[in-house]
Chain A
Amino acid sequence: MSITSLTFAGLVLLTLAFYYALPRRAQNFLLLGVSYAFYATWSWWYLLMLWALTLANFWLAQRVRRNGQPRRGALWAGIAVNVAALAVLKYEAFFVPGLRATLDRIGVQTGAGGLDVLLPVGMSFYIVAVISYQADVYRGLIAPADDLVDFAVYLAYFPKLLAGPIERARTFLPKLAAPRVVDDDALQRATALIVVGAVRKIVIADTLFAALPSGLWDAPRQFAAPELAGYLLIYAFALYNDFAGYTGVARGVSALFGIELAENFSAPYFARSLTEFWNRWHITLSHWLRDYIYFPTSRALLRRNPRRDNIPNLIAPPLLTMLVSGLWHGTGWTMLLWGALHGLYLVAERALALWRPAGPPHLQPRWRQTLAIGVVFVLVLLAWVPFRAPEVGAARDYWLGMLDWSDLSRPSYRAFIALLPALWLDWVQVRRGDPLHFLRWSRPVQAALLALALLAVFLFSQADLGAPFVYQGF
């Protein structure tokens, strides 16, 4: 069940009808039941996996901190269980062929598809969430959950189950323990988040994805350089709006239940540095990586050598963090290349800052900020090539193809029209500091915008471009 489907809308409205009439504790039971029912529409196997990991993590967390004392062994056991589950299901393509060959050699018949396993949708998201929970329990930032229902809701909460945002237990569980309020402002903002999210996904992202020609990623050399550059631009905005659209709908739906989810995007293509980009793109994952990979690595290196120009500390934390990010996104070499590239960007940025320290980006002259936005955007664009390419060779061909300007064929100008609303939405956010700034405009203007948005969502959804959310696949 897609979260932009009418069926999902029906499920949400039906749930809300009961939810608003129930006391807090019963609300959590209702959320859990609906979340499991929602997940079961994808697969019962996914649900069984979620149950198993919920019980295992609930039990393990009790052992990570016992009688107020942290236990390192239990923490590593907890992390190992979660990483192993993810590795087995997500990276099976790496090891199943080898395992099958070994079993065949010793005479064990595996049969066609006998060893194939399927990664439950959303698992990459709730696994990292629950690892942060184990780590925070170990650090004493949160007590082990003593309410299995609340803990199960934390993992299974249906608005965020498929593709985040990746919530921390220390901020999410207290929300479940407190009464919730949905007042006029919350209702208005929730509705706006849902409408803007639907526009981003259905009107912008699906249209942009449909504008990409077949064969673009498999055989990029058959396209001219202006086409490759243009389609890369289109892809960048399609991917961004696809995920930001999902997040908007998820946050809006959650807000209707009185539970605010974390922001995941903040006009990332207006970032003035790579560091700022990662504070604007998939923020909850970036911050997770920062807190659980980058900082611990950096702290370990600084303990050995606290100097500012500590070269290993300059290189290892960003590189390792971005390689882990690449691995989280997928199994192929292309994702590792994408991660490595971003890691190198960050290393270069840190080295430059060491060589020539600069103040905060917002205090720089306007021309320098604009130039920085352009440079960061181009670097991010180039990195999207291996992110999307099916293999490293195809990514290389794409890059090389963009250097060959002997043919000046270009994409149709029509495809770029869908970029305009995307840019406008981000521009409002950058200028006003609030993605929903238009809620302060007069009622007739708001109504006109709402009318246009609803018409556009309806018309574009009828075009049946309906691509699944990209990040749901991770």
Chain B
Amino acid sequence: MKPLLLPQNRTLRLARPVGRTALLAALFVLILVGAAEFLARQPGVQERLPVPSVGSTRNDFEIKVYLADGILDGDGRIDCLFLGSSVVWRGVNPRLFEAAYQAAGGEALRCFNFALAEITLSDAPVMAEFLIRRYEPRLLVYGLSPRDFSSNVDSGRPTDPANIAWMRYQRGEPDVHGWLIDHLLSYRYYLAVHDWMAPGFQGRLDQRRRTELELAALDGHTPSDEVFDLDGDDPWWRARKVFKDYHTAPGALARLRDLVTLPDRYPATTLVLAEIPLHPTIYTDFLPAADYDAQIAAIEASADAQGVPFLRSAALALPPDGVWKDSIHLNGRGTALFSAWLGEQAARALGAPRAAARPQD
């Protein structure tokens, strides 16, 4: 038979057109994917499936995306978002904030706590931009504390979820995996159960469900009824982990500047920096006073330069007993006090903008 592609003396000698089976297979793939996508979009099917994944290893992030997307679909808007580490997740109750904000003369807001345990200032600009682009909030409150600047917790590089494929795609970078996650709901559901044969899958699935219920109850915030036991076994282990040999992480202040300049690109969103309180002993026994003062001065300078309000929690003067879950997290009682204070302060700060003008003004 006469070769189709190349002369007889060559290595490749194909006598018939190639690729017909491959084309048919591609058609089958399209049919299968289409059917899976159709099923994945049926509410009756979705009810039986776990929260879809966006390719992160973090349950809290994936569930918060799912919940916030649900609010957007239901209420049509999310007015304000809280971002930061676990001190924000534990320390800000969106509903108490909304009430205090309105009581202090602000508008009625619909808020959601998008704080994620252990994220750092290296993640903050990426995460904040993602939230602004996806949810278009009028108000974004970034809660920070000396923990955010500690070289013990900030490696200087964005971590999961700030650097996952889907986030890269959200930022406009070409990423096939990110594209698939963004466009195929069936693929997101697959990613949520991809390790279904691995040991402990059912336990992880149950934990995901519990976290979903917990975070859904108070719009992303999880209160704690624990009370910090100063006489307990090594009560300061967490403080030592974060603040031992404390010094400011390289690049942390630069990342802060990246964060506070975001409103230049997204003027519809107002950014507020809020200092989240830590146990008073942290400030006296763990943090070098000079470093802390220099840090506050640097934050104030960055915020002032951009006209971003910076709310200092020192004025709240929380007591050392009864309001703490542990050395750096507030418990339910502390959260109630702080959230109400934060709502009121935010309303005042935004109702009477500071005199500092933006550089370009």
Contact = CB atoms under 8 A, between A and B. Distances in A.
Contacts of B9: 179
B199 A412 contact: yes
A184 B25 contact: no
Interface string B194-210: 11111111100000000
Contacts of B177: 462
Contacts of A210: 195, 197-198
A183 B21 contact: no
A418 interface: yes
A446 B194 CA distance: 26
A187 B29 contact: no
Contacts of A351: none
Contacts of B25: 446-448, 450-451, 454
Given A183-B15, A417-B197, A446 B10 contact: no
Nearest to A460: B194
Interface residues of A, number: 39
A463 B18 contact: no
Contacts, number: 87
B16 interface: yes
B262 to A, nearest CB: 32
B11 A448 contact: no
A440 interface: no
A414 B196 contact: yes
A27 B9 CA distance: 14
A418 B197 contact: yes
A213 interface: yes
A40 interface: no
B317 interface: no
A163 to B, nearest CB: 25
A46 interface: no
A313 to B, nearest CB: 47
A329 B4 CA distance: 47
B317 to A, nearest CB: 48
Contact of B12 (A182, A411, A443, A462): A182
B195 A451 contact: no
A20 B12 contact: yes
Contact of A443 (B6, B20, B197, B201): B20
Main secondary structure of the interface of A (DSSP, over half): helix
B2 to A, nearest CB: 13
Interface hub of B10, B11, B199 (most chain A Cβ within 10 A): B11
B197 A462 contact: no
Given A451-B28, A462-B177, A19 B194 contact: no
B195 A182 contact: no
Interface in A6-25: 19-21
Given A182-B11, A459-B194, A462-B191, A451 B199 contact: no
Nearest to A418: B197
B103 interface: no
Contacts of B197: 207-208, 210-211, 412, 414-415, 417-418
Given A454-B29, A462-B194, A187 B24 contact: no
Interface hub of A180, A258, A418, A450 (most chain B Cβ within 10 A): A450
Contacts of A423: none
B28 A447 contact: yes
A455 interface: yes
A181 interface: yes
A208 B195 CA distance: 11
A453 to B, nearest CB: 9
A444 interface: yes
B134 interface: no
Contacts of B12: 20, 182
A447 B190 contact: no
B41 interface: no
A25 B200 CA distance: 56
A418 B197 CA distance: 9
A183 B194 contact: no
Contacts of A451: 25-26, 28-29, 32
Interface string A290-303: 00000000000000
Given A20-B12, A451-B29, A455-B29, A187 B18 contact: yes
Contacts of A257: 11
Contacts of B196: 414
Contacts of A462: 177, 191, 194
Contact of B11 (A180, A184, A207, A213): A180
Given A207-B197, A213-B199, A443 B13 contact: no
B14 interface: yes
Interface in B3-53: 6, 9-16, 18, 20-22, 24-29, 32-33
A181 B11 CA distance: 5
A376 to B, nearest CB: 27
B198 A459 contact: no
B6 A463 contact: no
A411 B22 CA distance: 38
Contacts of B15: 183-184
A20 B10 contact: yes
Nearest to B23: A447
B24 A444 contact: yes
A447 B28 CA distance: 7
A463 B194 contact: yes
Contacts of A414: 196-197, 201
Contact of B14 (A183, A415, A417, A448): A183
A184 B32 contact: no
Nearest to B199: A213
Interface string B161-194: 0000000000000000100000000000011001
B195 A27 contact: no
A211 B199 contact: yes
Contacts of A412: 197, 199, 201-202
Contacts of A448: 25, 28
Nearest to A231: B199
Nearest to A443: B21
A452 B199 CA distance: 25
Interface in A148-174: none
A211 B191 contact: no
A462 B187 CA distance: 10
Interface hub of B16, B21, B177, B200 (most chain A Cβ within 10 A): B21
19 contacts: A21-B10, A179-B11, A184-B14, A187-B14, A210-B195, A211-B198, A414-B196, A443-B21, A446-B21, A447-B21, A448-B28, A450-B22, A450-B25, A451-B25, A451-B28, A452-B28, A454-B25, A462-B191, A463-B194
Interface of B: 6, 9-16, 18, 20-22, 24-29, 32-33, 177, 190-191, 194-202
- Nearest first, the 9 A-B pairs at minimum CB distance are A451-B28, A447-B24, A450-B25, A463-B194, A213-B199, A447-B25, A451-B25, A20-B12, A414-B197
Given A208-B197, A451-B28, 4 more contacts: A183-B13, A183-B15, A207-B197, A447-B25
